[in-house]
């Protein structure tokens, strides 16, 4: 074995968490190798020229949850961190009207009053109450979950920190948090609003990536997760990274390399090497071995615990937990190269409404009906679409005057009843395009190229099991103390030296980086103890 | 898209400075000319027009309207007879101010509330089983404030009712054939009236008022001039002197009426027959003398202010809009005394003045404090004296002649 195959740490997977973890470990002085199966880094955060001149964010398409502490600790600004904040969100309605919100609070109130005068001051109260909940939860995203099953003095300290933190909050804030975490977003919004479009617009993010409808218990939790991000101290604000989320992955890769991490592409790991219950390295599918005392999996829990290692080396209870961990991929992407901007009849030639999310989900009922199909193993015939025409803010992504449009679509359940995604891919694309056509007449005439990405495609290309974009559903029994399994939420595994750093660990998915950062802290703490 | 008010076509012609700000989603003139101080002088010496149309307006009517408002407002609405208006405020259950506004009583069961912020669902959520209807009528009416020394003289021929209107009285009238409500109210601390005009007829009314003002040196004034006027008048502004307790993140940004110097609105708080939101907390605050702040005026020692700059080889700045930030105050020992929420040069007092919050033991008129000031890019202090508010309160504001 050549010396060049010896490392202090090996990270399996070059997605945003793998890169982040590798960067932290390298920064701490570890000789670190990041192994990526594909020809490019980023995992699900990639940008590809799938049609000449058009940069597609094939999967992940917007940025919000990346923890500010990571931006600073990894000096990402130096490496090209460049989020472009979204100036607007636009929600078309089925009657031809719309809700267009921007950066100015007073103008937003005017726009809301157009739909319901009553909802104007309700929006102020809702925003404030939500912000209070986000403030409460924010510190939990920068710390590992306490091990509530642990008995060590350190565990007791962590638990006591959590109780103290929650105990210092006002009762209403705690109650709002519990209502959101356990309840439906519909119930929460009904306390404030009457307008269908305002509720639909706010609820649209409450089901992202998860098999729940806005009326389901659990949609409040997804809503909270989608609101947890921040830019410049504005909680819940979103951006497009320059060059798409693939552009952001490149920033992370540059940061990792600057600290000395080595990134190998087209290096698919077959399994983790263990000896006497300890991780000692990895083997690629071509038999090449790399050795390190620290091996970190950024893959999802199913792959981390049942594919990269032999489940027979693990406690039965953990394997059982992982086997019942729910993926339920339910989202798809349909991306378009467009010959020009889509037009919305009520706004004439205007295009300033396309600065951010274009949310096709005009009411709770629309969203819930879209969800219904997925319960019975089929995709929505009139889906919820979160559209983004990134080329309006980042003209480098398409030729002048032309546009690239990313459409995140729900519901598209991984398991179809009576068919399969290879058979349904084109028809599904047609359903999405027809829905867009109904809101933007003439849309289809603009389409130069269409890329349909089903949950099966997400799984095949990125390795995310069942195409679940979070590496595991955002369901309460799979969060915080329990992500990915009770007793194993502190980034360690039963195999010494084998760690997990992916979105299947706390705080979870989205381009957040927090799991990788917290994992690196656990790894370095263990290492310093020898 | 920012909106314009019904008076905008005329005011845009008059706005030679072309400077506009935003107020509740509407264009609102920052200043009309290159010298907002002259717009200020226009009010104090002649008559000025201010477009207050972006205010939120609610029509509150029904058998239980008085009961509803009596249970919300800290000031006793029962003492407001038809044809009268009240400056009022409302609190949360801890006695912290939510907002202020002016309520017009049009008849026994018919009120109109103007406020700076939207309140429809807040008000509706308080109604319970009461027989009361609340309608949002913000966009139905434009509001033209006619303020200043010659306001009555300018309007007299057009609106004879102004001769009979008492301070905070209102009356129906007709201008250019349009039904208008004229009230003796305003935010300038001077003699003045406000015209509430159906939005569709706003321009005809404006033209008639403008014609009536010919010979009286009538001119429009913008936000900068208004700010100087209202600070001289000691009138609190939401967003400056206080923010709504509902949106505060902690109690540092919550204030009681007593702390805001608005304790006079609580007249009759001992009356057990009118329970209202926050009353018990406000009584407890008084009983325990628990107010954290007193709101006072401060007048800067002009000679010291001038010396500070002249000694540094500079000219003492006495122009410009009110400070956009809180200005820190210190007591004679150098300890923190509080802060000015509004701080501006007053041409009438020939000194810098401020609406300030100080520790209650420093509230007596004549107490010496020091104001933080930056000279030559370094912090220094300038002495000031605590005074009562308002700074300017001319007899004409309330007199009948």
pLDDT, tens only, A510-526: 999 999 999 999 999 99
Q: What is the mean pLDDT of residues B237-253?
A: 96
**Distance of residue B91 Cα from the nearest chain A Cα, in angstroms:** 15
What is the model's pLDDT at position A85? 96
Q: What superfamily in CATH does domain B63-131+256-291 come from?
A: Aminomethyltransferase beta-barrel domains (3.30.70.1400)
Q: What average pLDDT does this structure show over B141-168?
A: 97
Q: Quickly state the pLDDT bin for B5 (edges 50, 70, 90).
A: very high
Q: Is B136 on the interface with A (CB under 8 A)?
A: yes
Contact at 8 Å (CB) between B161 and B123? no
User: Contact B118/A113, CB-based, under 8 Å?
Assistant: yes
Q: Say if residues A196 and A364 touch (Cβ distance below 8 Å).
A: yes
Tell me how far CA of residue A411 lies from CA of A9, A187, A360, in angstroms: 39, 21, 13
What are A203's two structure tokens?
């609820």
Chain A residues with CB inside 8 Å of B246's CB? 124-125, 128
What letters, b where the CB count within 10 A reaches 16 and e where it falls short, cover B34-49? eebbebbbbbbebbbb
Give the residue from A298, A218, A261 showing the smallest Cα distance to A515.
Answer: A298
Test B124 with A118 for CB contact under 8 angstroms: yes
CB A20 within 8 A of CB A516: yes
CB-based burial of residue B358 (10 Å sphere; 0-12 exposed, 13-18 middle, 19+ buried)? Answer: buried
Q: What is the pLDDT of residue A172?
A: 96
Q: Has residue A158 got a pLDDT over 70?
A: yes
Share of chain A above pLDDT 90, in %: 98
Nearest residue of chain B to residue A135 (CA atoms) = B249
Average pLDDT over every residue of B354-379: 97
A118 near B CB under 8 A: yes
Average pLDDT over residues B292-304: 98
Identify the pLDDT of residue A447.
Answer: 98
Average pLDDT over residues B292-317: 97
Confidence (pLDDT) at A530:
73
pLDDT tens by residue, B34-89: 999 999 999 999 999 999 999 999 999 999 999 999 999 999 999 999 999 999 99
Q: Has residue A1 got a pLDDT over 50?
A: no
Q: Cβ of B92 under 8 Å from any chain A Cβ?
A: no
Neighbours of A397 (CB within 10 A): 26
pLDDT above 60 (res B22): yes
CA distances from A486 to A313, A318, A477, A479, A481 (A): 18, 8, 9, 10, 6
pLDDT at residue A3, as a whole number: 56
**How far is Cα of residue B387 from the mean position of the Cα atoms in its chain?**
19
Give yes or no for A109 touching B (CB within 8 A).
yes
- Tell me if chain B has a CB within 8 Å of the CB of A132: yes
Distance from CA of A106 to the nearest CA of B (A): 5
Q: What pairs with residue A274 in β-bridges?
A: A279
What would you report as the CA-atom Rg of chain A, rounded to the nearest whole angstrom?
23
CATH topology of domain B8-53+139-221: Gyrase A; domain 2 (3.30.1360)
Mean pLDDT of A69-80: 98
Name the B residues in 21-60 with CB < 8 Å from any A CB.
Answer: 22-25
Q: Where are the domains of chain B?
A: 8-53+139-221, 63-131+256-291, 294-387
Out of B3, B22, B122, name the one closest to residue A121 (CB).
B122
Q: pLDDT above 70 covers what percent of chain B?
A: 100
Q: How far is CA A246 from CA A24, A52, A270, B352, B361, in A?
A: 20, 17, 25, 56, 61
| Residue A205 predicted with pLDDT over 90 | no
Minimal C-alpha gap between B117 and chain A (Å):
8
Q: What element of type H or E holds B282? A: helix B279-287
Please name the CATH architecture into which domain B294-387 falls: Beta Barrel (2.40)
Q: What is the pLDDT confidence band of residue B301, given thresholds at 50, 70 and 90?
A: very high
**B117 has a chain A CB within 8 A of its CB:** yes
B120/A120 Cβ within 8 A: yes
Residue to substitute from B2, B24, B25, B60, interface A, most A β-carbons within 10 A: B25
- Is the predicted pLDDT of residue A4 greater than 90, yes or no? no
Measured between CB atoms, does B124 come within 8 Å of chain A? yes
Give B47's strand partners. B218
A348 at the B interface (CB within 8 A)? no
Q: How far apart are CA B67 and CA B82, in angstroms?
A: 15
- Whether residue B2 and residue A107 make contact (CB cut-off 8 A), yes or no, is yes
Across A122-127, average pLDDT? 96
pTM as predicted:
0.93
């Amino acid at each position: 074995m050549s010396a060049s195959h010896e490392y202090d740490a090996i990270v399996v997977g070059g997605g945003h968490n793998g890169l982040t973890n590798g960067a932290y470990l390298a920064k701490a002085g570890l000789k670190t190798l990041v192994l990526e199966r594909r020809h490019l880094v980023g995992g699900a955060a990639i940008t590809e020229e799938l049609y000449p001149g058009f940069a597609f964010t094939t999967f992940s398409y917007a940025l919000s949850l990346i923890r500010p502490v990571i931006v600073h600790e990894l000096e990402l600004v130096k490496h090209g961190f460049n989020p472009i904040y979204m100036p607007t969100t636009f929600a078309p309605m089925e009657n031809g009207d719309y809700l267009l919100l921007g950066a100015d609070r007073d103008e937003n109130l005017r726009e809301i009053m157009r739909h319901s005068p009553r909802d104007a001051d309700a929006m102020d109260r809702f925003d404030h109450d939500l912000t209070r909940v986000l403030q409460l939860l924010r510190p939990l995203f920068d710390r590992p979950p306490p091990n509530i099953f642990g008995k060590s003095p350190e565990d007791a300290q962590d638990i006591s920190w959590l109780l103290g933190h929650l105990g210092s909050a006002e009762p209403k804030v705690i109650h709002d948090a519990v209502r959101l975490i356990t309840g439906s977003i519909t119930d929460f919004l009904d306390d404030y609003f009457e307008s269908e479009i305002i509720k639909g617009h706010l609820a649209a993010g409450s089901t992202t990536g998860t098999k729940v409808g806005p009326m389901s218990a659990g949609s409040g939790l997804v809503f909270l997760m989608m609101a947890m991000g921040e830019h410049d101290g504005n909680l819940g604000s979103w951006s497009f990274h320059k060059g798409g989320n693939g552009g952001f992955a490149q920033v992370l890769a540059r940061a990792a390399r600057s600290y000395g991490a080595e990134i190998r592409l087209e290096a698919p790991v077959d399994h983790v090497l263990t000896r006497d219950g300890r991780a000692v390295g990895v083997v690629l599918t071509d038999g090449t071995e790399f050795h390190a005392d620290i091996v970190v999996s950024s893959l999802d829990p199913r792959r981390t615990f049942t594919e990269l290692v032999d489940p027979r080396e693990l406690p039965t209870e953990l394997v059982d937990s992982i086997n019942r961990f729910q993926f339920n991929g339910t989202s798809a992407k349909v991306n378009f190269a467009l010959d020009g901007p889509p037009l919305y009849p009520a706004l004439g030639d205007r295009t300033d409404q396309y600065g951010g999310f274009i949310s096709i989900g005009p009411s709770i009922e629309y969203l819930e009906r879209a969800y219904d199909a997925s319960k019975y193993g089929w995709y929505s015939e009139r889906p919820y679409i979160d559209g983004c025409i990134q080329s309006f803010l980042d003209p480098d992504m398409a030729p002048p005057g032309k546009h690239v449009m990313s459409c995140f679509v729900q519901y598209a359940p991984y398991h179809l009843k009576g068919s399969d995604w290879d058979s349904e891919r084109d028809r599904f694309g047609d359903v999405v395009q027809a829905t867009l056509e109904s809101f933007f007449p003439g849309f289809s005439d603009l389409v130069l190229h269409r890329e349909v990405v089903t949950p099966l495609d997400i799984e095949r290309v990125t390795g995310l099991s069942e195409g679940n974009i979070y590496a595991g559903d955002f369901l309460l029994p799979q969060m915080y103390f329990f992500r990915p399994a009770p007793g194993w939420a502190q980034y360690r595994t039963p195999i010494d030296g084998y760690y997990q750093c992916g979105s299947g660990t706390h705080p979870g998915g989205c381009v957040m980086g927090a799991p990788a950062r917290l994992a690196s802290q656990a790894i370095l703490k263990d290492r310093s103890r020898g | 898209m920012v909106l314009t008010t019904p008076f905008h076509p005329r005011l845009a012609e008059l706005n030679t400075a072309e400077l506009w700000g935003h107020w509740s989603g509407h264009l609102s003139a920052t200043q009309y000319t290159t010298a907002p101080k002259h717009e200020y002088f226009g009010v104090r010496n002649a008559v000025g027009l201010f477009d207050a149309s972006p205010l939120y307006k609610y029509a509150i009517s029904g058998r239980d309207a008085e009961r509803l408002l009596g249970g919300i407002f800290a000031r006793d609405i029962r003492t407001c007879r038809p044809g009268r208006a009240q400056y009022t405020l409302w609190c949360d259950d801890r006695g912290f101010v939510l907002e202020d506004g002016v309520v017009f009583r049009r008849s026994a069961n018919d009120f109109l509330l103007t406020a700076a912020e939207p309140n429809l669902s807040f008000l509706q959520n308080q109604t319970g089983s009461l027989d009361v209807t609340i309608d949002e009528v913000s966009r139905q009416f434009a509001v033209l404030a006619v303020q200043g020394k010659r306001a009555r003289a300018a309007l007299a021929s057009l609106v004879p009712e102004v001769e009979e209107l008492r301070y905070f009285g209102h009356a129906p009238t007709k201008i250019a054939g349009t039904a208008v409500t004229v009230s003796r109210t305003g935010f300038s601390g001077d003699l003045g009236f406000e015209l509430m005009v159906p939005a569709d007829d706003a321009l005809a009314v404006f033209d008639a008022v403008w014609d009536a003002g010919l010979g009286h040196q009538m001119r429009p004034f913008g936000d900068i001039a208004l700010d100087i006027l209202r600070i001289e008048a000691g009138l609190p502004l939401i967003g400056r002197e206080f923010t709504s307790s509902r949106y505060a993140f902690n109690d540092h940004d919550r204030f009681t009426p007593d702390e805001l110097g608005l304790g006079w609105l609580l007249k009759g708080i001992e009356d057990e027959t009118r329970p209202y939101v926050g009353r018990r907390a406000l009584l407890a605050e008084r009983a325990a003398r628990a107010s954290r702040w007193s709101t006072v005026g401060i007048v800067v020692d002009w000679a010291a202010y001038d010396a500070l700059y002249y000694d540094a080889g500079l000219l003492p700045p006495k122009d410009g809009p009110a400070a956009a930030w809180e200005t820190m105050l210190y007591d004679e020992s150098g300890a923190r005394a509080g802060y000015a929420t509004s701080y501006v040069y007053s041409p009438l007092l020939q000194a810098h003045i401020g609406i300030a919050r100080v520790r209650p033991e420093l509230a007596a008129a004549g107490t010496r404090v020091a104001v933080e000031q930056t000279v030559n890019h370094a912090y220094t202090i300038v002495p000031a004296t605590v005074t009562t508010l308002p700074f300017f309160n001319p007899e004409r504001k309330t007199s009948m002649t």
